[in-house]
Structure 1
């Protein structure tokens, strides 16, 4: 219990530190009339609250480690990547973040389909392979939609989100796939061999109601 409290304290400190840095970035952006950076800073602050709002609205408890991971990703992508120009300073920054996003999105996809698979109202039992496959394709789908968004913004607003164009897009999708594959494989073995994956275990420890087993009926279908 003490360890859990310490983790939550770290999450609160991290969140407040990130928001203070973003407020500082907003002040600097206003003084320098850098309206693009101002927009990025404001939108990033909103993003730091978004996971908590969505989780609370749906009655889900986000473990502290989840929140730390999400906040760290937002900070690395928006503050360091965009505002501090890390995307241009370090060639591997974008690749690292896309790999990481593939892992996170794969985890989200796995949790969504895993929970639905245990829902009694749904007359369908999905195999561990199908659940893992869904988590992989879910992450890849979101990654592809993001690349479409980057292309659209670059075309309309005249930004350079795609960096080197097609090459950047393809590498983003490749590393998205690698990250998603890692998550889907872990999700498969979590179901098939009941191996304890720390992140997944922590989520269900915080939300035990999602572990209620679906009653087996003769008319259940499986895939």
Structure 2
């Protein structure tokens, strides 16, 4: 598809505008933090943290569109926007613009929203995998269960990632274990504010909020899909034709057409 015809489609133009706005806001935050660093208002380690999450933000915002291009599918516009906005909120708003520090519940908000976003994407992925299956109760249940389970699996993988980061880097507190440390004793043990450990509480709360976010979407969708199965198509990942390699005969025809045009 030529660029002109691609951007003549309103949904494609809307996706481009949202993507460009998020990228611009990300680069704006990076420039702001760079100015702070160059004027010696920010320490080097903290600035590198901002740079790291700027890169993560740029990659996350573009990830869904890159996946569509590589794997040849088109997700619904709301899913594209929500996935990109979530990556922007987590990396850029949270770390570059410091909303994690400014809003105490920002992490909780993101985990709850991630349940909604990943469940919506999970429905679309399930529909793509079950595309050739006949419509009916079994397919509807399978789609909903797949969306729920893949959301919980992603939540588990994220918490595993945070645990790994905290294990590899002793100064890291991604799971907020440091918030509960009152004192360290000479024998290497700690006095903590919570007998279960703040890291465990943080992990379980994150996964619980993700489950709640998922159910906020899936419960009403369950009622809707059983009443009107065709409504599932709103989440469908539409397959795109694979890349077609230009054959030698096609190139010969194109050359002949160009020569004809020159003659005329």
- TM-score by structure 1 length? 0.76
Aligned twin of 1:16:
20
Unaligned 5+ segments in structure 2 are 1-8, 177-197, 241-264
1:117 Cα deviation from its structure 2 partner: 2.3
User: 1:150 and 1:119, CA in 2 relative to 1: closer, same or farther beyond 3 A?
Assistant: same
Structure possessing the higher radius of gyration over alpha carbons: 2
1:88 Cα deviation from its structure 2 partner: 2.5
- Taking the aligned partners of 2:139 and 2:129, their CA distance within structure 1 comes to 12
SS in 2 for 1:173: helix
Aligned twin of 1:149:
161
SS in 2 for 1:91: coil
Deviations, residues 180-216 of structure 1 (Å, cap 9, x unaligned): 223332443343221675xx54444x8389xxxxxxx
- Taking the aligned partners of 1:138 and 1:17, their CA distance within structure 2 comes to 29
Say what the alpha-carbon RMSD is for the aligned residues: 2.8
Aligned residues: 199
- 1:207 equivalent to 2:207? Answer no
User: 1:203 and 1:128, CA in 2 relative to 1: closer, same or farther beyond 3 A?
Assistant: closer
Aligned twin of 1:180:
214
- Taking the aligned partners of 1:203 and 1:106, their CA distance within structure 2 comes to 10
- 1:106 equivalent to 2:137? Answer no
- 1:192 equivalent to 2:223? Answer no
- Taking the aligned partners of 1:182 and 1:129, their CA distance within structure 2 comes to 17
User: 1:75 and 1:161, CA in 2 relative to 1: closer, same or farther beyond 3 A?
Assistant: same
